[in-house]
Amino acid sequence: MKTVLRCLLATVFLCITVSALAGTTSVNGQSLTIALVHFKVQYKEPARNLEELKKLHREAAAKGAKIIFNTELALTGYSFSSREDIRPFTQTVDSRLVREIADLAKELAVYIGITFPERDVQTDSFYNAAAVFSPQGKLVCNYHKIYGEKRWARPGSPYQNNLFLTPWGMVGVVICADSYFDLIPRTLALKGADLIWVPANWPPMGQLSPVDIWSIRAMENGVYLAACNRTGKDKTMDCSKAESAVIAPDGTPLVSRSSEESALLFANISLDENGQISKMQRKQKMGTRNVALYRQLYLDPWTENLTMYYQLPDPGKILLHSLTSAQNPLDIGAIEAQVAAESSPSPALWLLPQTGVDVLNKEKLQAIARSYNCAFALSVRSEQGNVSELLITKEGIQSFTDAKGELPYRLLRFGPAAVAMVPLNELRHPELGVVLAKLGCDLVLVSEPELSALDIRLAKVRTIDNFAIAASGSNRAVIAQMKGVHGDIQVQMSDNGRSCVLELDTVETRSKEFYDRVDFDVLLRDDKGELKNEYVQ
């Protein structure tokens, strides 16, 4: 009876998903239907998994899917403890189980992306691998996860070809944690990907969810992103609440679902008059990159003592305040009242929304800074529309910009922190954040007229790059810090007329880990993300 009930619930879920997406077609009526197999993987039961996957793939194809994507290690499950543990379950792309997926792609006349632990017969190396088979049953992409499983998998090469060409456009592949690090998906966008497939085993993550990260990866690159997660419980991981999602190039989820049983998720991707996935947003995003700002991207500050290495201020605690304003122009009197009410013996930095030069009273802010031993940071818009970024302390007024430097955004010191302020448009590109972190930045500030909900999500995701961030607009404010590369994220947010506060200990922001298995040649070229012949099979 339980089995019948589960099947009924899964069927209802599928019907809801299909009907919810039935209207997402393009103006000219052309669209590409893709399906995600949100699969309840049975641990160490590849034959059983294969039979269930075949049923789900046939159902997806019958409902119109032309491309079918699977979750990470869909054939075997995920939690293997060693090379010896996983060896009996490793496959080659010519193994029987994998070839049955190739035959299925040919039978259904669809593209299928499948994942499995791959064995290299020449080196006896094991990879967390993805393979894509064409409607003719031919292997068109074989990708090895770059951020490999530490207990058994060899990391894939950052120079491997992880793109394949379809009649609708170019599709790229990264696996799970590869999408966590922003420079890996960025290389795919620069190489011409229109759609990125992310097979994943990724349970919810508190205040920073996988969908948060995937939305920013889609938005910052201007591409569609199809993240196929799993469900069920692995040996050591509970993914029963995990979400799969298809994200549009503007960062908006087209579909996002979790299910405790296996389910199919469908999304219709609009096509242009030539039957192609639009490249417009990707080209626009890549066209606004300023590669001259990223030249220090390849630096390798391997030392554990960044304070001494860069002669940074001695680490310690600083109190961060990020303000919104219920009215514009900024009310200096209201700001002084807040500062007086929340004065602290620790150095305090108050981030304000962007304001106009005609209403800014720098002298009054500096007087407040003297009285309460604090500082103010904000961006100022001139009557001509130019924007400057300022740090106002009791000692004086400094600019965060340096027109003569290779990197025009200076690191200023306030108390125990090395601080930068950058325009939001520049921070939307992942390269700049990595550069600032590699130069020892503890805190990145963003002062804008307004912030969208997606801007808040961007701020949270940027903490992955080894710095804290505070952003302020007239309507919203946020402060966020992540402790460690995969640590817990602290987030404080506020809205109209209110402020948020967080105590930052720069001992934590000086401990940085950089994931540099990336193709710096692609990242530092001056091209604008146009499709290059060397990436076409």
The one-digit pLDDT tens for each residue of the chain (537 residues) are 444 444 444 444 444 343 333 334 344 569 999 999 999 999 999 999 999 999 999 999 999 999 999 999 999 999 999 999 999 999 999 999 999 999 999 999 999 999 999 999 999 999 999 999 999 999 999 999 999 899 999 999 999 999 999 999 999 999 999 999 999 999 999 999 999 999 999 998 778 999 999 999 999 999 999 999 999 999 888 999 999 999 999 999 999 999 999 999 999 999 999 999 999 999 999 999 999 999 999 999 887 889 999 999 999 999 999 999 866 667 888 889 989 998 888 899 999 999 999 888 999 999 999 999 999 999 999 989 899 999 999 999 999 998 788 899 999 999 999 999 999 999 999 999 999 999 999 999 999 999 999 999 999 999 999 999 999 999 999 999 998 767 789 999 998 778 899 999 999 999 898 989 999 999 998 766 554 545 544
User: Do 320 and 456 reside in the same domain of the chain?
Assistant: yes
User: Do 270 and 320 reside in the same domain of the chain?
Assistant: no
CB 537 within 8 A of CB 138: no
At 67, which amino acid appears? I
Q: For residues 142 and 173, give the distance between their C-alpha atoms in angstroms, rounded to a whole number.
A: 9
CATH code of the domain containing 474: 3.60.110.10
Q: Is residue 537 in some structural domain?
A: no
CB 92 within 8 A of CB 99: no
Q: For position 397, what pLDDT does the model report?
A: 96
User: Do 213 and 357 reside in the same domain of the chain?
Assistant: no
Q: For residues 166 and 181, give the distance between their C-alpha atoms in angstroms, rounded to a whole number.
A: 26
Q: For position 172, what pLDDT does the model report?
A: 98
**Beta-carbon contacts of residue 380 (< 8 Å; ≥ 6 apart):** 354, 355, 356, 357, 360, 387, 388, 389, 390
String of b and e for 63-94 (b: at least 16 CB within 10 Å)? eebbbbbbbbbbbbbbbbeeeeebeebbbbbe
Of the candidates 526, 521, 532, 534, which has an alpha carbon nearest to the alpha carbon of residue 192?
532
> Nearest-5° angle of CA 199, CA 210, CA 457?
140
User: Do 71 and 158 reside in the same domain of the chain?
Assistant: yes
Q: Is residue 60 in some structural domain?
A: yes
Q: For residues 162 and 203, give the distance between their C-alpha atoms in angstroms, rounded to a whole number.
A: 25
User: Do 425 and 398 reside in the same domain of the chain?
Assistant: yes
User: Do 308 and 446 reside in the same domain of the chain?
Assistant: yes
Q: What is the pTM of this model?
A: 0.92
Structure tokens at 445: 């500030």
How far, in Å, are 66, 348, 371, 425 from residue 337 at the CA level? 61, 15, 12, 32
Q: For residues 64 and 54, give the distance between their C-alpha atoms in angstroms, rounded to a whole number.
A: 16
User: Do 128 and 258 reside in the same domain of the chain?
Assistant: yes
CB 351 within 8 A of CB 473: no
Q: For 272-292, how does the pLDDT look when each residue is reduced to its tens digit (9 = 90+)? A: 999 999 999 999 999 999 999
Last residue of a domain, one of 264, 287, 310: 287
Q: Tell me the pairing of strands 348-351 and 317-323.
A: parallel
Q: Is residue 247 in some structural domain?
A: yes
User: Do 347 and 484 reside in the same domain of the chain?
Assistant: yes
Q: For position 200, what pLDDT does the model report?
A: 98
* Upper half-sphere CA count for residue 393 (Cβ side, 13 Å): 13
Structure tokens at 523: 């990242």
How far, in Å, are 46, 227, 257 from residue 247 at the CA level? 30, 8, 12
Domain housing 482: 294-509
Q: For residues 38 and 17, give the distance between their C-alpha atoms in angstroms, rounded to a whole number.
A: 12
Q: How many domains does the chain have?
A: 2
Q: Is residue 518 in some structural domain?
A: no
Based on its alpha-carbon atoms, the radius of gyration of the chain, rounded to whole angstroms, reads 25
Q: For residues 148 and 155, give the distance between their C-alpha atoms in angstroms, rounded to a whole number.
A: 4
CB 115 within 8 A of CB 53: no
User: Do 29 and 163 reside in the same domain of the chain?
Assistant: yes
Name the helix (H) or strand (E) containing 453. Answer: helix 453-462
Q: Is residue 519 in some structural domain?
A: no
**Beta-carbon contacts of residue 114 (< 8 Å; ≥ 6 apart):** 53, 70, 74, 75, 98, 101, 130, 131, 132, 133
Q: For residues 452 and 145, give the distance between their C-alpha atoms in angstroms, rounded to a whole number.
A: 33
Q: Which burial class, exposed, middle or buried, applies to 123 when counting CB atoms under 10 A from its CB (0-12, 13-18, 19+)?
A: exposed
Q: For residues 35 and 269, give the distance between their C-alpha atoms in angstroms, rounded to a whole number.
A: 11
Q: For 250-261, how does the pLDDT look when each residue is reduced to its tens digit (9 = 90+)? A: 999 999 999 999
CB 196 within 8 A of CB 222: no
User: Do 442 and 367 reside in the same domain of the chain?
Assistant: yes
Of the candidates 391, 394, 419, which has an alpha carbon nearest to the alpha carbon of residue 504?
419
CB 80 within 8 A of CB 149: yes
Q: Is residue 331 in some structural domain?
A: yes
Q: Is residue 488 in some structural domain?
A: yes
Tell me the sheet residues that pair with 278. Answer: none
Last residue of a domain, one of 258, 287, 316: 287
Q: For position 19, what pLDDT does the model report?
A: 33
Q: Is residue 132 in some structural domain?
A: yes
Provide φ and ψ at 218, rounded to 5°: -65, -45
Contacts 24+ apart (CB under 8 A), 370-375: 370/394, 372/339, 372/340, 372/343, 372/348, 373/343, 373/347, 373/348, 374/339, 374/343, 374/347, 374/348, 374/349, 374/350, 375/347, 375/348, 375/349, 375/350, 375/414
User: Do 148 and 197 reside in the same domain of the chain?
Assistant: yes
User: Do 353 and 222 reside in the same domain of the chain?
Assistant: no
